[in-house]
Structure 1
C-alpha cells in the first residue's frame, strides 16, 4: 500500500519537477549569455531578491512603495541630525488636516498622503515621492496664518503631483551610471531618493511648475491665494533666504509669476479662508505648551 502511494505521488509531481528543471535550464542559458549593457545580472537579481524599478513607467503603487522606504531612511537621517520627526499628536494632526484638505483638491488623489512635522527651528519644507511631505516647526512659526502655511504645503504637494522626484531620480541615476537597461535596483533608488529629499534642489522648471500646481490647489481648497505671494515676500525681506528658498529660483521671479496668474484670474469670494492670524497664533501657543 505504501509503495503504491509513493508511486502515485511521484507521478503527480513529475510534471512539476520537469517544469522546474526546464525553468532552471532556461535561466542558466540567460545567465550564460553576455549582458554587457546591464549593470546587474539577472542571476544576481534573482539571488538578491531585489526589486527593479523602471522609472520611465513607474506605477502609482511602486512609487508609494518606494516613497515609504525613502521616508523610513529620511527619518533615520533626521534623527542623526538631532531634528527628528515630531511625535506631537496635536501638531501632527493639524498639519495632516491641512494637507489632506489640499491633497483632496489636487489632480492626484489616487495615492495616500502623509504629512509630518520635523522638530527643526529652521524654515524649511520638502517632499518625496509617494505622497510624503515634511514641514519644519520653524516654518510653522514663521507663517503669519494658516493660509501662508498651506501655501508652502501646496507647493510641496505640487512636486508630488508633478512627479518631479521621479524625474530627478532618473537624471541622477543616469548621471551616476546606476541606471541599467532593466531599470534601477531598489537599494540604489532609496539612496538617491533620500539624497534628493534632504540635499539636492529641484530644477528651476520644477519649482515654477510646483508653484503653478500649488496655487491652483490652494484656490480649490478655498484658501486665500494671496498668501502664497505674501509669505514669499516676507521670507525675501528677512535678509538671507531660509533653507526653503535658498536653493530655489529667484524669489522675485516667482512672486512676479504668481502675481501675473492672480491678475489674469482674480480670487473669488470663496477663496478667502485661512487669514485669521489671531486664531493661528493661539493655536501655535497651545502646541508649545
Structure 2
C-alpha cells in the first residue's frame, strides 16, 4: 500500500502541484456552461492532485473488485458512458465522496463496516448518483464564482504576488470537503435505489448499513470516525425516505443479490492489509479488537 512507510508530509512534497495556469484555465472553464468534457478534465485534474496527497490501497485484486462492482452499477446510471474510477482510501474514518467526471473514493474504514456486498454496492451507488446528477460540478462552479476572478487574473497575468501552490491544493480540498445539500443527498439516495435494482442488487443493503453507522454515531457522538454523517447530513430523514422508496418499488421478477462468496474473500483480504502508518485504531474498530 502506498501509505506504508511514507509520511503524509513526504507525500505532499512529492506531489506535483497544479500549475497556476491550469487553475486559471479551470476557473475560466467553470465560469460558463460546464460541458461534460470540461467536467471530466477538471475532475481528472483534481483526482491527480488528491491521489498524490492521500494514501490509497494499492492492492490490485481489491481495487479490481471495487472497480468491477462500481462500473456495473454505473452502467445502469444516467451517465453510463463516463469512465468511472473507484479508489479505496487507506483510512479508518467512515467516509466516501465523489469528484466531477466519475472519480469515487471510499474509505477503508467504511468498507470494513459492511457485512455484505449489497451494503458496499449501496455506498457506490449513492456516490455514482452524485456524479450522474452532476452535483460535484455544480458545487465546484458555485465555489469558483465566489473567488475574485479579477484578483486571480491580476496575479497571474501581471506577475504580482504569484498564486501559491497551496491555493491550488485548497481548490481541490474545497470540493473534497464540501457538504452536499440535503436535496443533493436525497436525490443521490433515490438514484442509488434505482441503480441497485437495475443492477440486480438488493437496495435494502443501504438501510442495513445506514442502521449500523447510525447506531455507531449514537455511541460516539462527534467522533472523526463517523465523519460520514458530517458530510452526508440528515441521515435519519434519508433512512426513512429510502425505506419508503423501497417499499413502493414495483414487484421485481428477478432475484436481487444481497451477498456472495466473493465478498467474504474481499473483506478478508482487506482485513489482512496492515493498518495505515501512524494510525491508531479506535476502540470497537473491527481490526482493533
TM range (shorter): 0.7 to 0.9
Q: What is the CA-CA distance between 1:76 and the residue it aligns to?
A: 2.6
Question: In structure 2, what is the equivalent of residue 53 of structure 1?
Answer: 29
Quick one: distance in 2 between partners of 1:244 and 1:152?
Answer: 11
CA shift digits 1:108-129 (9 cap, x unpaired): 0122110111111111111100
Relative to total residues, which structure has the larger helix share, 1 or 2? 1
Indicate yes or no: 2:96 matched with 1:125.
Answer: yes
User: Superposition pairs for residues 106-255 of structure 1, below 5 Å?
Assistant: 106-178=77-149, 191-197=170-176, 199-238=177-216, 239=218, 240=220, 242-255=226-239
SS of the equivalent of 2:94 reads coil
Quick one: distance in 2 between partners of 1:158 and 1:141?
Answer: 22
TM-score, normalised by the number of residues in structure 1? 0.73
Quick one: distance in 2 between partners of 1:272 and 1:209?
Answer: 22
SS of the equivalent of 1:274 reads coil
Question: In structure 1, what is the equivalent of residue 254 of structure 2?
Answer: 270
Q: What is the CA-CA distance between 1:161 and the residue it aligns to?
A: 0.5
Distance 1:190 1:206, change over 3 A: farther
Distance 1:230 1:269, change over 3 A: farther
Alignment length (residue pairs): 232
Q: Are 2:118 and 2:201, in contact at CA under 8 Å, matched by a contact in 1?
A: yes
Structure 1: state its 5+ residue gaps. Answer: 1-46, 79-83
Q: What is the CA-CA distance between 1:176 and the residue it aligns to?
A: 3.1
Cα-Cα RMSD? 2.6
User: Superposition pairs for residues 86-97 of structure 1, below 5 Å?
Assistant: 86-97=57-68
